[in-house]
Amino acid sequence: MVENNQKVTPSPQVVCREEFDDWALLFDPDTGHAFGMNPTSVFVWKHLDGKNTVSDIINKLKESCEGVPAEAEQHVKDFINDLLEKGLAAIN
């Protein structure tokens, strides 16, 4: 499970295609797997740059959006863990 102090980056082969209304699709051409992302997931994905820790991303989300619920931290971690499990991202 990803920890707050860890930094995560997208896997280099993964393609992110942004769609309308801030939704996006991740595609791994090596495996053929696709992964849909809602606007919050897109926000998190864009901050997986190897410079931001998980805590940094959560804090940026709270600064950028109003009314972020307390459970958002766990949702962000769950999303990043899904990316890691599917090989779409890696811990630095």
pLDDT in tens, 11-33: 999 999 999 888 999 999 999 98
Specify the pTM. 0.93
List the domain boundaries for the chain. Answer: 8-91
Residues in the chain: 92
* Domain 8-91 of CATH type 2.60.40.10: no
pLDDT at 64 over 90: yes
> Is-contact 77 2, C-beta < 8 A?
yes
DSSP designation for 7: B
Per residue in 29-49, pLDDT (tens digit) is: 999 989 999 999 999 999 999
Cα–Cα distance between 31 and 74 in angstroms, integer? 28
